[in-house]
Amino acid sequence: MRLPLLVTITLIASATAIFEDQVGKFDWRKQLIGCPARVDFDKIGSKSDRLLISTEQSILSSLVLNTGNIGWRRIMEDSNQVVQPNGLTFTKDHEYIYSISSDGRSIRVWHKNNGVMARQLTISEQKSTIQAIHVSNGRLHVASGKTLMVFRLGDDKPLETIVAKRERSFSAFFQQDDHLVHVSAFPGDFNLEIVKISDDGSFETPKQVIIDGFDVEKCHHQSQYISCYHNSQLLVADVFAQKVHKTTLDSKLQSISGSGRLFLARGSQKVHILEVTSENGLQVRKSIDLTSSDTVGITENHESIIVASPESIRIVFVNSGKHFEAKREKNEQNSRIRSIFARKNEKDWEIVLVGNDCRIEFVTVDEGSKIVNLEWAREESLINTVSVEMVDLPLSESQQMIEDEFEEEGQQNIIAAFVRRIHSQVGQLIRQVTKNVEKAIQVVTSLSRDGNGVADFINSVRAAGQIGSASSSGPFERDYFNLRKVIIVVTSSGTVFGIDSSDGSYLWKLWLGDAFSPLESQLDQKRVPLFVQRTTAHYQLDGLASVVFSNKITQNGVIVSFNPMIGKVESRNELGYPVKRLTILPIHNHRHVFPVMLIGKNDEIAVFPSIAPEELTPSTTSLYLLDLQKSSVQGLKVDISTQKVTPIWQGNLGLTSDDEIVAVKGKSFNQKVHSQGRVLVTREVQYKYINPNLAAVATINKNTQQLTITLVDIVTGQVVHSASIGKSAKPIHLVHSENWIAYTYWSEKGRRTELGIIELYEGTEENHTQKEMFDSKIVQKLPPVVAQQSYIYAQGVDAMSVSETEQGLTTRSILVAHPSGNIHEVSRRLLDANRPMELTPAMREEMMIGYMPEIAVATEEMINYNQTVHRVRGIKTSPSGLESTSLVLAYGTDLFFTRLVPSGTFDILKDDFDHVLISLVLTGLVVGSYVTKRLARSNALASQWS
């Protein structure tokens, strides 16, 4: 019994692609839970306190209260990646958590302490977002959509079921002592339907109660009450007494919340605390003055009200007149607080603050010292990452000196240049010497500390070597191979983060303001475009990056520019109109800034920062755009100097009204293609058709289920190639790079995912003319030669991307994220449209791979080995200073960063290369040879004397 187990364990351990000692060396993963919608304080066993959190991203998780680490996390299916503001509906008893999952179609029962699923029950075939769940008396009561069900705990079959005629708009369970009722409402009327659930679990006949002006949006329910507001009027309905209390407050209400018998009715200036008692009905107990940045919450035991603002936390006791205020450390980059979850324990208040930026903060407030202690904080908005860029770190001091040396070249005479050179090189020498001396001192001190064996010595030398290259402890400057970068992450929640790529730590955070709203693209995706306008290559000038979003209130476009190294906002401009399209210009101004051009609704053009007409080159005075509408496709020309948009061509690209555009992909304008052709077995060259103005448009026909990929030249509107695949369906992913397009689709015919590739060539020698410039307006003699191939891919695809290296010399790899949480690296050598059907010996000699219908998914090709990354929405690749290495960040529910070497590390020694041992052996040999030489000489002398 034990032996097979042992064998299995060893097999699992060996199934990783990187060496075991490399795990975590240059990759990191951040697990996220999303924006909390509901937070419950909970306890496992006697002492381990947990937070049970259900989030808008339908994730159920348990956080360790003391550290904020994830105890367990369960990710539910998330069909359309829709944000659910109320989170998952769940309830709990002392051992289990009961949640309604898969859009209201099933119940899942989870063990509270480890998150293991105990059971799953099906409740309905229909999706619904109106859900309620309650557990009591050994029974589980569920309402989802039209259905209302009762289960006995542990049973799979419901005791009783009612199916309503209509979809509900409100649904909740209420319990008082042993009485349980279900209250529901239907859209369009003010009737509340109350169903009593008797002791044996059967439903009694429904009763109707009318509440005037009942509006689900403006109502809140708690223990036995439903409270609604309408302007300044507050209605509280007691479900069990079936009595409605009414009161009118002095100001217009904005929101209602509460717990137990208390209600918090919030106006713009103050919050009223009301209580329902059997004697007096609904009465105002207290009023607290508020500012707009305050948020109000109540503790679990209904004793104190918590008012949190960015500067302080006020605690007001309900029953006595006491209150006190504790100061918080204010941070401009944290947003207003959205919701408060609090409880009081013996010593202090434990408060979970959730911000509009999805930051979860756990603080404790002590009454005696009046101090707010920040225990931990989690930045959960990263789950909504939409744009990522990687920016080089600033040049190090020695690199700056080298730059200095060449800075004023040509302006001074030869002697001055020579002197400057000597000067800077002496400076470099001094720097090097001091660095080495420091290192030596470090080694010596660590040696005297650690011991005096040879192994100790070697280890300490090694450690010293690593300190130099270690990233996290080093200074904030570019490393030798430019592998450490600042990752700028923009989220659709309105936050921007600077993340250190070496360990995933946050460098800075930027909150874009309460008026933030992401741009909505035509493909129904939230976008917050991010542009790096100036890299850190110009060391006298700071880097500059910009994000564009829209104002929530006015819908106008806003552009915020900031320094990508420290996150300091440089400028914030609001346009007078909504943004329709935007792009970064391919030219920089005299301050080395690439301006961002924003085009408004009525073709207004704004350029940030402005660019002078004389800085434009002939090829950049006008830009060409592709304008895809539902039925027609337009080519637009934007004249930057005169700020005019003119249509150039118009057509439909062969699209009908049934065709739905699913993806449009162009190429970035700084993509480098090192090799201009492909060498054939005959040693001829097939030249690549690299058209920088080519856009790939994927459309799917609703009627015929035909996927069409059209390659269109944006400048002329010429359709370069078009390919159709029958019987295919979404999801469709498209990657466009160099001269090829890779795409995945679901094949209805084969019932599998397929991976296709299209490559474009100009043909062999005779059809190729050497070009200085690629001009789309010069008509090609012949259409490009197209090679295409499809492969079976035995996994689903969540996201697809392609590796990017500095010179474009390394073979590219396609990165495919699976729904199972793996990221698979498919080499272009495998995904090749020219894999021959029959391999000749000559081809074999060239190490070509014959065509095989399937692309194998091997576990060692997973770049994230066993670090599962869920719901990947995008993969960002960025070149590093090493040609072999590409930096990868996959984002979705988790963030995962790693280095990718598509062709192996051909330009660097392996990282287990032992410099110390080699140099020790070498010095040993040299010394040994000298010693033996001396010995031999003296020996020879001695023998001659004898």
Partner 1 sequence: MSLSQWKLDYSYSSKNCRTSDSNFNPPGFYSSAATVQHSAEADRSADQHEHLARKRAWDTAMGPAKSLPMNMFMMYMAGGGVSIFPIMMVGMMLFRPLKALFSVNSTFKPLESPATGAMILHKLIFCLGNLGAIGLAIYKVHTMGLLPNTPSDWLEFIPQPGRAQYSIVDEVFL
CB of 849 to partner 1, least distance (A): 19
The reply to whether 418 sits near partner 1 by the rule CB under 8 A is: no
The reply to whether 324 sits near partner 1 by the rule CB under 8 A is: no
- For partner 1, the binding residue among 179, 527, 592, 873 (CB under 8 A) is 527
The reply to whether 620 sits near partner 1 by the rule CB under 8 A is: yes
The reply to whether 386 sits near partner 1 by the rule CB under 8 A is: no
The reply to whether 673 sits near partner 1 by the rule CB under 8 A is: yes
The count of residues interacting with partner 1 (CB under 8 A) is 57
Nearer to partner 1, 468 or 651 (CB): 651
In which element (H, E) is residue 917 found? helix 915-945
- For partner 1, the binding residue among 619, 642, 932, 939 (CB under 8 A) is 619
Q: Which residues contact residue 764 at a Cβ distance below 8 angstroms, ignoring those fewer than 6 apart? A: 680, 684, 685, 686, 687
- Here's the x/- map for partner 1, 820-859, by CB under 8 A: it reads as -------------------------x--------------
The reply to whether 510 sits near partner 1 by the rule CB under 8 A is: no
User: Which tokens sit at 727?
Assistant: 């019987």
Sheet holding 659-665, edge to edge: 659-665, 694-701, 707-713, 719-725
Nearer to partner 1, 309 or 776 (CB): 776
The reply to whether 819 sits near partner 1 by the rule CB under 8 A is: no
Q: Which sign, positive or negative, has the C-alpha torsion 366, 367, 369, 372?
A: positive
- For partner 1, the binding residue among 776, 795, 878, 898 (CB under 8 A) is 776
- For partner 1, the binding residue among 248, 320, 770, 943 (CB under 8 A) is 770
Nearer to partner 1, 148 or 685 (CB): 685
Cα separation, 485 vs 240, whole angstroms: 61
Cα separation, 693 vs 758, whole angstroms: 17
Q: Which residues contact residue 881 at a Cβ distance below 8 angstroms, ignoring those fewer than 6 apart? A: 480, 481, 482, 483, 806
- For partner 1, the binding residue among 399, 556, 676, 722 (CB under 8 A) is 676
In which element (H, E) is residue 468 found? helix 454-469
Interface segment toward partner 1; rule CB under 8 A; list 47-55, 384-392, 402-410, 515-523: 515-523
In which element (H, E) is residue 220 found? strand 219-222
- For partner 1, the binding residue among 86, 208, 319, 522 (CB under 8 A) is 522
User: Which tokens sit at 294?
Assistant: 């305050």
Nearer to partner 1, 257 or 686 (CB): 686
Cα separation, 866 vs 863, whole angstroms: 9
CB of 579 to partner 1, least distance (A): 6
In which element (H, E) is residue 842 found? helix 841-845
Residue with tokens 């509906």: 89
Which 558-617 residues touch partner 1, going by CB under 8 A? Answer: 578-583, 586, 601
514 three-state secondary structure: coil
For residues 699-730, one letter each, b for 16 or more C-beta atoms within 10 angstroms of the residue's C-beta and e for the rest, the string is bbbeeeebbbbbbbbbbbbbebbebebeebee
CB of 596 to partner 1, least distance (A): 11
Interface segment toward partner 1; rule CB under 8 A; list 210-218, 320-328, 522-530, 787-795: 522-530
The reply to whether 685 sits near partner 1 by the rule CB under 8 A is: yes
Q: With contact defined as beta carbons under 8 Å apart, do 337 and 328 qualify? A: no
Pairing of strands 894-900, 886-891: antiparallel
Sheet holding 253-259, edge to edge: 253-259, 262-267, 270-277, 281-289
Nearer to partner 1, 625 or 908 (CB): 625
CB of 617 to partner 1, least distance (A): 10
Which 692-731 residues touch partner 1, going by CB under 8 A? Answer: 692-693, 695, 714-715
Cα separation, 785 vs 698, whole angstroms: 20
The reply to whether 933 sits near partner 1 by the rule CB under 8 A is: no
- For partner 1, the binding residue among 68, 666, 763, 796 (CB under 8 A) is 666
CB of 784 to partner 1, least distance (A): 15
CB of 576 to partner 1, least distance (A): 15
The reply to whether 289 sits near partner 1 by the rule CB under 8 A is: no
Q: How many residues are there in the chain?
A: 946
CB of 145 to partner 1, least distance (A): 34
Residue with tokens 């109540």: 298
Interface segment toward partner 1; rule CB under 8 A; list 43-51, 139-147, 514-522, 871-879: 514-522
Nearer to partner 1, 32 or 547 (CB): 547
Q: With contact defined as beta carbons under 8 Å apart, do 465 and 915 qualify? A: yes
The reply to whether 942 sits near partner 1 by the rule CB under 8 A is: no
Nearer to partner 1, 677 or 783 (CB): 677
Phi/psi region, residue 137 (left: phi>0; alpha: psi -120 to 50; beta: rest), is left
Nearer to partner 1, 202 or 521 (CB): 521
Phi/psi region, residue 494 (left: phi>0; alpha: psi -120 to 50; beta: rest), is left
516 three-state secondary structure: strand
Nearer to partner 1, 471 or 556 (CB): 556
The reply to whether 765 sits near partner 1 by the rule CB under 8 A is: yes
The reply to whether 624 sits near partner 1 by the rule CB under 8 A is: yes
Interface segment toward partner 1; rule CB under 8 A; list 143-151, 495-503, 679-687, 744-752: 679-687
The reply to whether 339 sits near partner 1 by the rule CB under 8 A is: no
The reply to whether 212 sits near partner 1 by the rule CB under 8 A is: no
Nearer to partner 1, 680 or 941 (CB): 680
Residue with tokens 């789309």: 776
CB of 681 to partner 1, least distance (A): 10
Taking CA 271 as the corner, what is the angle to CA 270 and CA 274, rounded to the nearest 5 degrees?
A: 140
For residues 372-404, one letter each, b for 16 or more C-beta atoms within 10 angstroms of the residue's C-beta and e for the rest, the string is beeeebbbbbbbbbbbbbbbbbbbbeeebbeee
Question: Can you give the binding site for partner 1, defined by CB under 8 A?
Answer: 519-523, 525, 527, 550, 578-583, 586, 601, 619-620, 622-628, 664-667, 669, 672-677, 679-680, 683-685, 690, 692-693, 695, 714-715, 765, 770-777, 845
